[in-house]
Amino acid sequence: MDSKFQKIRNDFPILNQKVNDESLVYLDNAATSQKPQQVIDALINYYQNDNANTRRSVHTLGERATEEFEAAREKVQKFINAEQSREIVFTKGTTDSLNLIASTYGEVNIQAGDEIVISIMEHHSNLIPWQQLALRKKATLKYIDITSDGQLDMQDARKKITDKTKVVSIAHVSNVLGVTNDLKEIAKLAHTHNAIMVADGAQAVPHMSVDVQDLDVDFYAFSSHKMIGPMGVGVLYGKANLLKQMPPYQFGGEMIDFVNQYDSTWTEIPWKFEAGTQNVAGAIGLGKAVDYLNKIGMQNIANYEHNLVSYVLPKLLEIEGITVYGPHDSNYHNGVISFNLRGLHPHDLATALDMDGVAVRAGHHCAQPLMKKLGVVATARASFYFYNDKKDAYMLVKAIYDAKEFFKI
């Protein structure tokens, strides 16, 4: 094993364990990633030494906590190349970020007869907020279709996005199909029709370089826990001019400028969207995760994962009875691989793989409209990250063969 890779793997203590008497092979990274010791230590350090509320107290602990919290915001800004740190809003995660946009920008700007365009491959987090907004406002929700190999149908996108469209919201990377969507082209198309471009970046930011200015998206949402950071914290990037126009999402402490008995005024962005006590430790942990990812290099991570998929995807496709969803060409397929084995329910397959220590996901992956489009109720899903290697990939394939033998299929 490469010594550099072994050093990285050793940073993740949870991976050094046995499951059902087998060495753990963790391949559920699209659901949540594991955390390096450096991130865990950052959380412990905050609670042991700096635990205080931010932007409230002038005492030393409060000032240290505020400094670390805002430093994390600046790290995230640079990580995705936002123009300014005030365009970075801390939230609970991608779901919270997308609900924030729908409940603020959407509530103000969507009227009866307007159109909202998403795709059939969206995670429920980027579907239900727009669905419910459309129902409330009597707007029309439209879905961009996919091609036969599971890629976004750009011809259909050009038909669905019209001058009536006010919002286009698309996943940067699918959590089921293993495809990366051309956000830059979609944003250009949306802006041609004077619509805003929203992106669900939950599956993209952990795995590739993301430059929100180059993509020219208006909003971009992602989660800490999928990029080796803590759970319970996420990010909404929004262009400053849009954030300034939007009303607050929630009301309470630290998002106000002045409170009278019968009216209030709001503080500046991003803080007007961060009501109440924030997940300070989570944000600091996210900042440490960004440091860790920067040290490895996002392009290095993307290249490494591409090589891993190029190794494992052909081996999966060779297994008799396997159906892989999404492109079968590894040049168009990222580290999320959804599949089914003929004659075996995906939950049973996932349970069988777990007996060999291989952790994969099984279910509809919060993408039920896509499952219906694919003609299935659920799939199994293996998802890779930079701390996985070819041995992990081999063990996945071996475990599937073991399951076939056990169930005699």
254-270: pLDDT as tens digits: 899 999 999 999 999 99
Question: Is residue 58 a part of any domain in this protein?
Answer: yes
**407 Cβ contact partners less than 8 Å away, ≥ 6 residues apart:** 343, 344, 348, 352
Token pair, residue 100, equals: 């924030």
Report the pLDDT averaged over residues 224-238. Answer: 98
Q: Say if residue 57's pLDDT is above 90.
A: no
Average pLDDT over residues 48-52: 95
> Which among 187, 172, 186 has a CA at the least distance from the CA of 123?
172
Mean pLDDT score of the chain, rounded to an integer?
A: 97
Residue 257 lies in a domain: yes
pLDDT in tens, 144-198: 999 999 999 999 999 999 999 999 999 999 999 999 999 999 999 999 999 999 9
pLDDT above 90 as % of the chain:
97
Q: What is the pLDDT of residue 1?
A: 52
Summarised one tens digit per residue, pLDDT across range 74-85 is: 999 999 999 999
Which structure tokens are listed for 308?
Answer: 């891993």
Q: Report the pLDDT value the prediction gives residue 276, as an integer from 0 to 100.
A: 93
User: Is the same domain home to 97 and 227?
Assistant: yes
Residues 263 and 220 placed together within one structural domain of the fold? yes
Give a yes or no: residue 33 inside a domain. no
For residue 34, tell me if it sits in a domain.
Answer: no
Residue 36 within any structural domain of the chain: no
What's the rounded Cα separation, in Å, for the pair 141 and 114?
9
| 45 and 111 both lie in a single domain | yes
Q: Is residue 140 part of a domain?
A: yes
Strand partners, 200: 171, 221
- Measured from the Cβ of residue 154, the count of other Cβ atoms closer than 10 Å reads 15
**Whether residues 226 and 361 fall in one domain:** no
Owning domain of residue 21:
3-28+297-407
pLDDT, residue 131, reads 98
Alpha-carbon distance values, 227 to 109, 213, 234, 287, 352 (Å): 32, 21, 10, 11, 28
The tokens describing 139, both together, are: 């707007």
Band (pLDDT 50/70/90 cuts) for residue 55 is confident
pLDDT the model gives residue 251: 95
Domain membership flag for residue 337: yes
77 and 202 assigned to the same domain: yes
- CA–CA separation, 202 and 122 (whole Å): 11
Looking at the structure, do residues 125 and 263 belong to the same domain, yes or no? Answer: yes
CA distance 190 to 237: 18
Q: Which residue, of 231, 264, 295, is where some domain finishes?
A: 295
CB neighbours of residue 118 within 10 Å: 25
Count of structural domains, the chain: 2
Which domain-ending residue is among 295, 318, 337?
A: 295
The pTM score is 0.97
88-134 pLDDT, tens digit each: 999 999 999 999 999 999 999 999 999 999 999 999 999 999 999 99
287 and 305 together in one domain: no
Of 366, 382, 396, 403, which residue is the catalytic one? 366
The residue count of the chain comes to 409
pLDDT of residue 5: 77
CATH number for position 364:
3.90.1150.10
Closest C-alpha to 388, from 317, 332, 336:
336
| 196 and 287 fall within a common domain | yes
How high is the pLDDT of residue 200? 98
- What's the pLDDT tens digit per position in 324-351? 999 999 999 999 999 999 999 999 999 9
CATH code of the domain in which 215 resides = 3.40.640.10
Rounded Cα distance, 55 and 67, in Å: 9
Same domain, 182 and 264: yes
Which residue among 295, 326, 351 closes a domain?
Answer: 295
217 and 255 in a single domain? The answer is yes
- Per-residue pLDDT of 22-47, as tens digits, reads 999 999 999 999 999 999 999 999 99
366 is catalytic: yes
pLDDT of residue 383 exceeding 80 = yes
Contact 137, 114 (CB under 8 A): yes
